[in-house]
Amino acid sequence: MTTAPRLRSAFAAPGRPRLVAYLTCGDPAEATTVAIALAAVSAGADVLELGAPYSEPSADGPAIQRAMERALSRGGGLTQTLRVARRLRDAGCEVPLVLFGYYNPIFVRGAGFAHAALAAGVDAALVVDLPLEEQAELLTPLRAVGLDLVPLVAPTTTSDRIERIRALAPPFVYCVSMTGVTGSALASPESLATRLAQVRTGTEAKVVVGFGIATPNDVRRLAPHADGIVVGSAIVRTIEEHPGHEAAAVARLVGSLAAALR
């Protein structure tokens, strides 16, 4: 079955790098997440990463940890994240949706996860704590329904493992810019250029870079080296800092980031 044509088409089209906006679903509330997501798309986000709240978010920094705690305290989780995706599709949102999360809630859901993600309108999953050696157990059911799995490459990932990702034929590879958690300070974009080129050559896939990217200047400096740029913690902090005005505040931020790519 053809996998995630919406996502693959987004990165296959020529032009500037794609802007990927991350949101923690359910923070501060389900309906607000939907409104924020739609505002982000209207402001220039090309892809949405929908973060499924989890109680032990080991890859995430303080801002996203706080957002996940708030969402979980209000009943958030994988089920609500899938519901947010469905509400976005029902509202006419056509950009690719990547479910970003941890494996335990997906594993607990079992074989039904792939069908639930398809029904919700999700295009792919990105699971930060699923090792390369174990990805087939999720990739197989996802591919069976036409969805994709996005692999992660860390600064410590070896050349051999990078080349093994090639066999997965992913829609893109999420390249982590640093050793650490989300929200940390960005390493020099110029120092990332060689690494991103190595990952692109080794995987024969589009390379999207994330972690530590917060400002239009960060985006502008990374643009020559990446096929896509993820901004997460900066958006989550903006939501936290503008209670009652989250969608408008995120739209302003995303608009400034999108402008930096034009």
Phi, psi (deg, nearest 5) at residue 174: -90, 110
User: Which of 253, 260, 165 lies closest to 207 in space, CA to CA?
Assistant: 165
Maximal C-alpha separation, the chain: 48
Q: First-to-last CA distance in the chain?
A: 35
Phi, psi (deg, nearest 5) at residue 44: 130, 0
The C-alpha atoms of residue 211 and residue 206 are separated, in whole angstroms, by 17
The dihedral of CA 121, 142, 199, 210: what is its sign? positive
Active-site entry in 27, 30, 49, 148: 49
Question: Amino acid letter at 235?
Answer: I
The C-alpha atoms of residue 122 and residue 82 are separated, in whole angstroms, by 8
Query: Which run of H or E residues covers position 127?
Result: strand 124-127
> Could you tell me the two tokens for 177?
């810019």
Active-site entry in 30, 46, 60, 123: 60
Answer yes or no: 163 catalytic. Answer: no
The C-alpha atoms of residue 214 and residue 36 are separated, in whole angstroms, by 17
Answer yes or no: 27 catalytic. Answer: no
> Could you tell me the two tokens for 135?
């990805």
Task: Count CB neighbours of 220 within 10 A.
Answer: 15
The C-alpha atoms of residue 230 and residue 83 are separated, in whole angstroms, by 23
The residues that are catalytic are 49, 60
